[in-house]
Amino acid sequence: MQVAQTSNFGVLGTGVVGQTISSRLIALGYHVRMGARQAGNEKAAAWVKAAGASASEGTYADAANFGSVIFNCTSGSGTLAALGAAKADNLRDKILVDISNPLDFSKGMPPSLFTPTGDSLAEQIQRAYPSTRVVKALNTITASVMVEPTRVGGGEHDVFVCGNDAAAKAQVAALLRDGFGWKTVHDFGDITGARALEGYVLFWVRAWATLGTAEFNLRLVR
Ligand SMILES: NC(=O)c1ccc[n+]([C@@H]2O[C@H](COP(=O)([O-])OP(=O)(O)OC[C@H]3O[C@@H](n4cnc5c(N)ncnc54)[C@H](OP(=O)(O)O)[C@@H]3O)[C@@H](O)[C@H]2O)c1
């Protein structure tokens, strides 16, 4: 099933989010290259071995060069360094789906945000790479639910996108709906909408502690 206008994706990050997104894209029939600080990263190599012939791994630059759509699944504190290593030339004019959260764990739990009020990590990315079509998405949901919304409440809950490029947002929303199974994708406007989506994660962490599970989500009801 082809639900995106590309067959090659680059995924930056080897953690649970990078692995979950990458595996879902492979299941949809795409080619995926997972990027890490160094080629041959242990987690990336293990993922490739399990994921099969459409999977490959390399440096952040290798993955960004390979993908015509790129997912940023690196830790918030490492995101700008990871994108620097991915190299501006490999990001130019491409869609970058940013799943990261600017979490600051320096004072322990619960975390705070390292971005100042009136800014967001997605905006910092967009400012650093002006021609890159940054779309903030999926950062409000735990990894397992990102690609399988029916794990919670029969799938009757919501995901959000924001970004400055309407066509990029539409392409990401189509992938979320037709590829990942989301019923409701809210357009939160331009990239400044990321202030709300990233700020929401403070609420998310509190709810996680209260509910005792990461598998929950919210639904906007009028
Ligand atoms: N976990 C979830 O369910 C969830 C849900 C929503 C959003 N998110 C967000 O999604 C992102 C990924 O989360 P995660 O839990 O999969 O993994 P994570 O532990 O937050 O991040 C893992 C990745 O970040 C890379 N990284 C860390 N510091 C770096 C640096 N200084 N330079 C370059 N790369 C660096 C790691 O590389 P190494 O392997 O080399 O250390 C690894 O590939 C995070 O921003 C997180 O806040 C996570």
pLDDT digits (tens, 9 = 90+) for 177-200: 999 999 999 999 999 999 999 999
What separation, in Å, do the N-terminal and C-terminal C-alpha atoms of the chain show?
34
Give me the residue label for tokens 């620097």: 84
For 3, 24, 50, 144, the CA distances from 215, given in Å and listed in that order, are 26, 18, 25, 8
Which amino acid residue places its CA nearest to atom 24 of ligand 1?
74
Q: Is the pLDDT of residue 1 over 70?
A: no
Residue with tokens 């082809």: 2
Among protein residues, the one with the nearest Cα to ligand 1's atom 39 is: 14
Which residue in 123, 83, 75 sits closest to 102, CA to CA?
75
For residue 18 and ligand 1, the question of a CB distance below 6 A is answered with yes
Q: What is the pLDDT of residues 92-117, one digit of tens each?
A: 999 999 999 999 999 999 999 999 99
Indicate whether residue 111 lines ligand 1 (CB < 6 A): no
Ligand 1 pocket member 143 (CB < 6 A): yes
Span from the CA of 83 to the centroid of ligand 1 (angstroms): 13
Question: Which of 34, 60, 73, 75 most suits a substitution to test ligand 1, by most atoms within 8 Å of the C-beta?
Answer: 75
The yes-or-no verdict on residue 218 having pLDDT over 90 is yes
**3-state SS string for 59-98:** EHHHHHHHCCEEEECCCHHHHHHHHHHHCHHHHCCCEEEE
> What value does the mean pLDDT take over residues 16-33?
98
CA separation for the pair 194, 125 (Å, rounded): 11
- Residue 78 Cα to ligand 1 midpoint, Å, equals 7
